[in-house]
Amino acid sequence: MLNKHKLVRIQPIRKILFYAKGFTLIVVELTIDVKDKTEKKIVIKVTKAPWV
Protein backbone atom coordinates (compact mmCIF):
# COMPACT_ATOMS: atom_id res chain seq x y z
CA MET A 1 0.00 0.00 0.00
CA LEU A 2 2.81 2.43 0.84
CA ASN A 3 4.46 1.76 -2.51
CA LYS A 4 1.26 2.69 -4.36
CA HIS A 5 1.14 6.02 -2.55
CA LYS A 6 4.68 6.83 -3.71
CA LEU A 7 3.85 6.12 -7.35
CA VAL A 8 0.75 8.32 -7.18
CA ARG A 9 2.86 11.15 -5.76
CA ILE A 10 5.39 11.02 -8.60
CA GLN A 11 2.69 11.20 -11.31
CA PRO A 12 1.29 14.67 -10.37
CA ILE A 13 4.80 16.01 -9.84
CA ARG A 14 5.83 14.95 -13.36
CA LYS A 15 2.97 16.98 -14.81
CA ILE A 16 4.09 20.03 -12.81
CA LEU A 17 7.65 19.67 -14.10
CA PHE A 18 6.42 19.89 -17.69
CA TYR A 19 4.42 23.05 -16.95
CA ALA A 20 7.02 24.61 -14.67
CA LYS A 21 10.27 26.22 -15.85
CA GLY A 22 12.68 26.19 -12.91
CA PHE A 23 11.29 27.92 -9.82
CA THR A 24 8.42 25.48 -9.38
CA LEU A 25 10.85 22.59 -9.87
CA ILE A 26 12.80 23.69 -6.79
CA VAL A 27 9.62 23.97 -4.70
CA VAL A 28 8.46 20.50 -5.70
CA GLU A 29 11.96 19.11 -5.11
CA LEU A 30 11.95 20.34 -1.51
CA THR A 31 8.43 19.01 -0.89
CA ILE A 32 9.46 15.56 -2.11
CA ASP A 33 12.73 15.66 -0.18
CA VAL A 34 10.71 15.83 3.04
CA LYS A 35 8.50 12.93 1.93
CA ASP A 36 11.14 10.67 0.34
CA LYS A 37 14.76 11.25 -0.62
CA THR A 38 14.54 8.75 -3.47
CA GLU A 39 11.80 10.77 -5.18
CA LYS A 40 13.85 13.94 -4.73
CA LYS A 41 16.61 12.44 -6.87
CA ILE A 42 14.17 11.98 -9.77
CA VAL A 43 13.07 15.61 -9.54
CA ILE A 44 16.66 16.86 -9.54
CA LYS A 45 17.39 14.93 -12.74
CA VAL A 46 14.50 16.65 -14.49
CA THR A 47 15.61 20.03 -13.15
CA LYS A 48 18.88 19.61 -15.04
CA ALA A 49 16.92 19.31 -18.30
CA PRO A 50 18.32 21.28 -21.30
CA TRP A 51 15.11 23.28 -21.78
CA VAL A 52 15.30 24.66 -18.22
Task: Check residue 22 and report its DSSP letter.
Answer: S
Q: Identify the CA nearest to 12 among candidates 1, 37, 31, 51.
A: 31
What are all long-range contacts of 25-28, with beta carbons under 8 Å and residues at least 24 apart? 25/52
Average pLDDT over residues 4-23: 51
Residue 7 scores a pLDDT above 50: no
| Distance between CA atoms of residues 42 and 10, nearest Å | 9
pLDDT tens string 22-32: 555 555 555 55
Q: Structure pTM? A: 0.14
**Domain positions in the chain:** 2-47
Which pLDDT score is estimated for 1? Answer: 45
pLDDT at residue 42, rounded to an integer: 52
